[in-house]
Amino acid sequence: MTYRVCFVCTGNICRSPMAESVFRARVEEAGLDDLVEVDSAGTGGWHEGDGADPRTVAVLEENGYGSEHTARQFQPSWFSRLDLVVALDTGHLKALRRLAPTPEDAAKIRLLRSYDPAADDDLDVPDPYYGGMDGFQQCLEMVEAASPGLLAAVREHMEGRAA
């Protein structure tokens, strides 16, 4: 049974496609790509149909990650087929909770940095869109730091489902 994860940021051109690419690489490295489906979306549809921000693409490619992406807006109907919805900041977390049709769906939403044991009290991944390349690199570092914990949580959930 496939485990489905969707990363969500604002416009689905910076943070969430970066998280999708990094986590997909971790899933493949773990040999789980036939069991875990990784996706991303935005809370808004402003960039729907566009590729990822060129700075996101550059940082991903410089660090050995794939960068194919088409932006889209998260739909409340998706909750029924998703196992985990990963918000990149508290604004996205709140927006997604408002969209969740049921309390069970709302319980599927988590902040990405909550999976990083070294994260401080601020669990937001800052939006790099209005800044320079250093913001995109910082975003990548935060995503990479949270990915092992997220992968461990996904494995644990999958094992619990199989039992």
Active site residues: 9, 15, 127
Give the three-class secondary structure for 148.
helix
- 120-to-55, 125, 139, 155 alpha-carbon distances in Å: 26, 12, 15, 24
Q: Rounded to an integer, what distance in angstroms lies between the CA atom of residue 148 and that of residue 75?
A: 27
Report the Cα–Cα distance between both ends of the chain, in Å, rounded: 12
The residues, any chain, with a CB within 8 Å of residue 161's CB and separated by 6 or more, are 1, 3
Torsion of CA 46, 52, 54, 58, to 10 degrees: 160
